[in-house]
Structure 1
Amino acid sequence: MTLKLSAVVPGAIKSQGDSCEIRQFRHTDFSTSVSPVVLVDHFVMTGPAFGPHSHAGISAATLLLDDSTGVLQNLEGAADSRDIRAGDLYWAQTGRGLVHAQRPVGEARLHGLQIFMDLPGDLKSQAPSTSLLRTAEIPVIQSPSGRIRVVSGQHGESESPLRTPAPLLILDGQLRPGATTLVPLRPGWNAWITAIHGDLGVRARHCRRGASPLPKVAGGDPDFAVVRTGWAVAATAQPDGEEGVLLLMAGCAPSHFVLIAGPAVDLPAAGQGMPAQLGLASLEQALAAYQAEEAQAQAEIQAELEREDAAA
């Protein structure tokens, strides 16, 4: 078998005060690997919720979906502020440590995903870097089946301008009722797929052509999953198998999905905000460098927030 689907997982619902609701998916929730994905927060935010906080040893991305209204301000210090708008992707390769804050500006309803991905060990102690990909820069594939934005990586003949430390595919797709689309999954890659709106069928094809179906087993078809709104499923492709294909299909209503896929990171993920195992000496070095910068960066962010609140 080349591809394996996990059990479908409902997001754990959390509230961040009165102004932010989150459906959270951790890598440990799934019965198959989702590496490089560590954690995904599917959020709706209407007021301040993400004050100054830190990340290290990971890539952290904020993808605002098209139905967002208003602006999400990202602060990394007194002199570094970026406005994230509907359809944009904010990317941070946090390396040895990054402190930032994100908050709505004025009247806003911000709907999106915060995606945390593990970094290979040799990148965990590097200086952090950030970028902002505007929605106008993201390639869009229009077809009779619907519309797919290629946020990261290459899909078909379309390639995103985003440069990531390792190959990474992020698709933000909308399918018309009854429509389907195919997404190849390379050997050694894992995929994470969520239904933003509308039910999504996911079928695993173990090779592009000529694959015989797996024998039926008690409890249902292991090659097929129905992902309800707000739920997610993972797919993993064996490193020594053929390239597989995921068939995504909408039901009788339109379906909006996000798919994240990439090669598994060899080192075990340690979770949001902390480096994975680097070896004791490298880990201590990364933490020392991070801690030396954190207090100053957090003080700068807090001072900027207080100045803006006083001026409002």
Structure 2
Amino acid sequence: MSAVIVVHGGAWAIPDELAKGVVDGVKAAAREGFSVLKKGESALDAVEAAVRALEDNTVFNAGHGATLNIDGEVELDAIIMDGRTLDNGAVSSVKNIANPVSLARAVMEKTPHCLLTSRGANLFAESIGMPTVPTGTMVTAYERKEWEKHKNYVTGVMEDINSQWAHDTVGAVAVDSAGNVACATSTGGIRNKMVGRVGDSPLIGSGGYADNSSGAVSCTGHGESILKVTLARLILSHVEQGKSVADSSQLSLQYMRDRVHGAGGAIVVTPSGQWAATFTTKRMAWAAVDHDVLWYGLDASERREEQLS
């Protein structure tokens, strides 16, 4: 079986000045994740590696480069899920962890729980010796400037997701040579969110889901809308009914738009290696590696390819 990885860097109105950076970033993350798969390692290892690469890249809203809440603080969320066992781990509202996806994996593997939040997540990180970083080092000058510019955010204004300043989530899905799927999603949330606000990203069935019987999904977009329709699980329910991954994604995103006026995107892969990257926002940065070909895009209907060197 051929291994496949797909990554996204968020679905929103990505401005032209960020376009090259986000496209280069998702391509690099897809290569990173695929290099893990090529070594014969698991889909779980691949999605963690890809998302760590995105968290370390300050152009994205996860880890380094995260958006700030209304008090000017970083609060990070992440999830990871193993489609073979349905084991999953997640963290929310963590402040000084550079790679929350790895902390989420530790929650999955080292605790009996699925989700740890805020102080509890940080105490757990400390107990297992996970390195911390000064929160200020994760804040970019660009984000500080944008936060100052948009302090008048009002929670629930739906057009924010398509505005120039709506920054968003990163994620990855993969299938390995054994046919196991996995997903991971990580985010800094919505700029100027309320303190303690948690969106879809760390919540199973909404920000991500993985099951070897159907596939793996990572979602991005307006978190409250995604939560209302449990978008990741909704997409897989269509896959289970025999629809293609592209149709399943499009139907689910259209339902979210029609039902709750929400915009977003999703990446999907099945155990047989079918995959899709679909969105209803202006842009979504995505990249995939399938049969040693790197596919990527940013705008609607854009699908470019490069041979892996």
Question: TM-score range, shorter-chain basis?
Answer: 0.3 to 0.5
Q: TM-score, normalised by structure 1?
A: 0.34
> In proportion to residue count, which structure has more helix?
2
- Which structure would you say has the larger Rg? 1
> In proportion to residue count, which structure has more strand?
1
Q: TM-score, normalised by structure 2?
A: 0.34
